[in-house]
Amino acid sequence: MSRDLPAVSVRTQLRIPLRVADGFTTTARVLTFDGLVDGREHLALALGDRAACATDADAEPPLVRLHSECLTGDVLGSERCDCGPQLREAVETLSEVGGYLLYLRQEGRGIGLYAKLDAYTLQDTGLDTYEANRALGFSADERDYSAAAQMLLALGHPRVALLSNNPDKAAQLERHGVTVARRVPTRVHVSPANRGYLAAKAQHGAHTIDLGSVAGRWA
């Protein structure tokens, strides 16, 4: 069900030079916000020259990536998921074409870091990532993109192109007044350790992931 969201304002913005693990460098304009509906400290990173593009209805919508925090993948380089490679891909792509990376503080598909690690333990017994969340008493995916919609509206972008394989992100943004003009798929970042994880996302979450295209790579 859609609901009206209160307007938020940009709290601060500053420029930060970035260097990712493999040495890729860029500069981001990092923005914080006041009044986000979930009370969390989400960030918007404006990347590339077009991040401050015109906001009129006829302008080409900016490319936007909604990336949920993953300490194990983003920081520690865990290969049990594809979060780290997706973050790396998004930073480079957005630096080249211009757009926004919204870094959302909802670890473990919204269940938190400790619960995510508990879910990993259950996955080691044979459950997939969605089944493990449910076994712990959570829904399969508890992420809420209301704050992301607030952030985009505060930035003056009610119409975006979405860098994502996840249809739920687009659906939630649309419910909260942000038009997704088109979806741009991310690459498939498969490894021996995350193949089952990616298959579960395709099967249970309707993510547009074609593991068949990389079937022979890890045979």
Please state, in angstroms and rounded to a whole number, the distance separating the CA atoms of residues 92 and 187: 13
Active-site annotation holds for 4: no
Question: Which of the following is catalytic: 74, 82, 128, 141?
Answer: 141
The gap from C-alpha 167 to its chain's centroid, in whole angstroms, comes to 12
Q: Which of 182, 186, 183, 174 is nearest to 149 (CA)?
A: 174
Q: Which of 208, 218, 198 is nearest to 73 (CA)?
A: 198
DSSP string, 99-137: EEEEEE--HHHHT-HHHHHHHHHHHTTT--HHHHHHHTT
> Any alpha helices (H) in the chain, and if so which ranges?
83-97, 107-110, 113-123, 129-135, 146-154, 167-175, 195-204
Tell me, what DSSP letter sits at residue 12? E
Active-site annotation holds for 141: yes
CB 75: neighbour CB atoms within 10 A?
13
Question: Which of the following is catalytic: 65, 74, 109, 143?
Answer: 143
**Angstrom distances, CA of residue 53 to CA of 29, 78, 97, 99, 163:** 14, 35, 11, 9, 17
Catalytic residues: 141, 143
